[in-house]
């Protein structure tokens, strides 16, 4: 009776950790990463469309992204969308591909990104704790309704706490690795 609840909780917490990992990929480090500009929205015939659906993005060099556009008529719109983003990028196109040089990060910008990593990590921890709270409430309701015994309820609380701690450790490890990448020169 309790095992499905614990598996469900672990699954939801793992999804929170995976989401956090995806968000970390969009935070800029010193090197080029195609995920940096994957989600840049480009007006494609009046519809905002993510860049990764309009072009192939690669990183042939540590400080350069190359965007190969599928529809060559959209090169100007993509270049404009990249320029207007908050990452201070200066793309250049040669009519075939767009080259996006990644400027080195200043010390101030690095510290700002570290703060952003920590903020996102805290949001992930809160999401994990919310799952724990919801599942504990579910177990308590089952105990209140007489569906599970009190000692089984207590064991479920302990196991939920252990699952939560393990997932929070994963978030902390991901955050620490990303902070190290951001601060690396």
pLDDT, tens digit (0-9, with 9 covering 90-100), for 15-49: 999 999 988 888 877 777 888 888 888 898 889 99
Supply the CATH number for residue 164's domain.
1.10.132.20
Whether residue 32 contacts residue 24, with contact meaning beta carbons closer than 8 Å, is answered with no
pLDDT score at 15: 95
pLDDT at 150 > cutoff 80? yes
pLDDT score at 12: 95
**Which range marks the domain in which residue 174 is found?**
3-25+106-183
pLDDT at 3 > cutoff 90? no
Could you say which DSSP state residue 73 is in? G
pLDDT score at 40: 85
Q: What's the number of domains the chain is made of?
A: 2
Cα-to-chain-centroid distance, residue 96: 31
Supply the CATH number for residue 96's domain.
3.30.1360.40
Which of 59, 77, 101 terminates a domain? The answer is 101
Look over the chain and give the mean of its residue pLDDT values, rounded to a whole number: 89
pTM metric for this prediction: 0.75
């Amino acid at each position: 009776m309790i095992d499905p609840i614990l598996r469900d909780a672990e699954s939801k917490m793992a999804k929170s950790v995976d989401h956090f990992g995806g968000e970390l990929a969009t935070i800029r480090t010193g090197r080029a990463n195609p995920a940096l500009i994957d989600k840049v929205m480009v007006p494609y015939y009046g519809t905002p469309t993510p860049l990764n659906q309009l072009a192939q993005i690669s990183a042939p060099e540590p400080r350069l992204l190359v965007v190969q556009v599928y529809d060559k008529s959209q090169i100007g719109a993509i270049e404009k969308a990249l320029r207007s983003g908050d990452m201070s990028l200066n793309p250049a196109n040669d009519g075939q591909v767009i080259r996006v040089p990644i400027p080195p990060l200043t010390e101030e910008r690095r510290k700002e990104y570290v703060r952003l990593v920590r903020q996102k990590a805290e949001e992930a921890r809160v999401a994990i704790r919310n799952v724990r709270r919801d599942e504990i409430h579910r177990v308590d309701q089952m105990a209140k309704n007489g569906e599970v015994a009190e000692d089984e309820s207590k064991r479920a609380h302990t196991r939920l706490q252990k699952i939560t701690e393990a997932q929070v450790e994963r978030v902390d490890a991901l955050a620490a690795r990303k902070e190290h990448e951001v601060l690396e020169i």
